[in-house]
Structure 1
Amino acid sequence: MTTSSAPEPVPVPIRVLLPGDQEVVAHLWSRRQAGDGWRYEVGLPAYRNGPGDSVEPAEYRVWVRAPQHVRPVDGVSYDAVPTEYLEPPSPVKKALGPSRPSGWVLAKTGGRGPGRAGVVHTVDCAEAPAGTPVLPLDQALGAAEQPGVRLCSLCGAAQVL
């Protein structure tokens, strides 16, 4: 038995699609936002056995998914239906601090041909030369494998790569 002093909400009509392509008008009691969509608490009209051999009207309440199983009734406002929304996700704090810009810079230090020397920097490194083309990850890894090329220790290119 509940002792809540809040009155139960007044239901509004809603169309419920049943198995076998049946459709009935039921009572909409509340709605709830779920991670994969909305659920509607509907009261389906039914009968139950009463005293003796009597039969009396009843209501069977069940949660159904929207929009697969419910449709609005034309001209009915659903603004007063008790609605439970999901809490917005809390901001996630980045464990490693702010993200760095993506990309790599190869600073050539001299020489020609496959044996030329150079230094690979992150794109935001203070030692990265300005105006040098930004390399994607696969090209930066390829450059780092070349003889005479090293990874900058100031910006941590070795740890990031």
Structure 2
Amino acid sequence: MTTPSHDQAVPVPVRLLLPDGQEIVARLWRRRQLPDGWRYEVGIPAYTNTSEGGVEPAEYRVWVRAPEHVRPVDGVSYDAVPTEPLEQPSPVREALGPRRPSGWVLQKLSGGHGPGQAVLHTPDCDEAPEGAPVLELERALDAAEKAGVRLCSLCGAAAELDPVLRGFDHIGDDS
């Protein structure tokens, strides 16, 4: 089912329950589902004063809870009302969890040259330096192949990059 965009919306009548117990007919513009329930944007008929001192019809729009504050009008179809359902989480995303930021960052260690001069991390690693540029895969692999650069095992950089560097044949080897 497609619904018109907000610009093309044609409001339909709906009964609105006011806080003092009155019930009036308002205009339903759109519906939105939130985690705690539905909200309806309704237009309430009102008057406004003009700059010339006159009075003219106006509409006050407000979001209200449904079904607590609104009731359908008999014989009115609500099929064409723009509706924003709650985005359903993907079963794959639920199973895998949130994705980590893409890329890798290089932490240059003080102490000059030789073994242990740099560590390659994922961008969200607690040990990764703040503000370091994020490297794409090719640049990360180039850095990882240099002498003195090790892969962080805390954040998963080693688990992600080691198979690419050494090939997948070594996985499961005891060496």
For residues 1-161 of structure 1, the aligned pairs below 5 Å read: 7-91=7-91, 92-93=94-95
Between Structure 1 and Structure 2, the one with more helix by share is 2
SS at match of 2:58: strand
Query: Percent identity, aligned pairs only?
Result: 70
Q: May I ask how many residue pairs the two structures share in their alignment?
A: 91
TM-score normalized with structure 2 length: 0.49
Runs (4+) of structure 1 moved beyond 6 Å?
A: none
Between Structure 1 and Structure 2, the one with more strand by share is 1
Following superposition, the deviation at residue 86 of structure 1 comes to 1.0
Uncovered stretches (5+) of structure 1, i.e. residues with no partner:
96-161
String of CA shifts for 1:72-103, please: whole Å, max 9, x gaps.
Answer: 000000000000011112222268xxxxxxxx
Answer with 1 or 2: which has the greater Rg: 1
TM-score normalized with structure 1 length: 0.53
Distance 1:72 1:64 in 2: 14
Distance 1:26 1:71 in 2: 10
Uncovered stretches (5+) of structure 2, i.e. residues with no partner:
98-175
SS at match of 1:93: helix
Following superposition, the deviation at residue 19 of structure 1 comes to 1.0
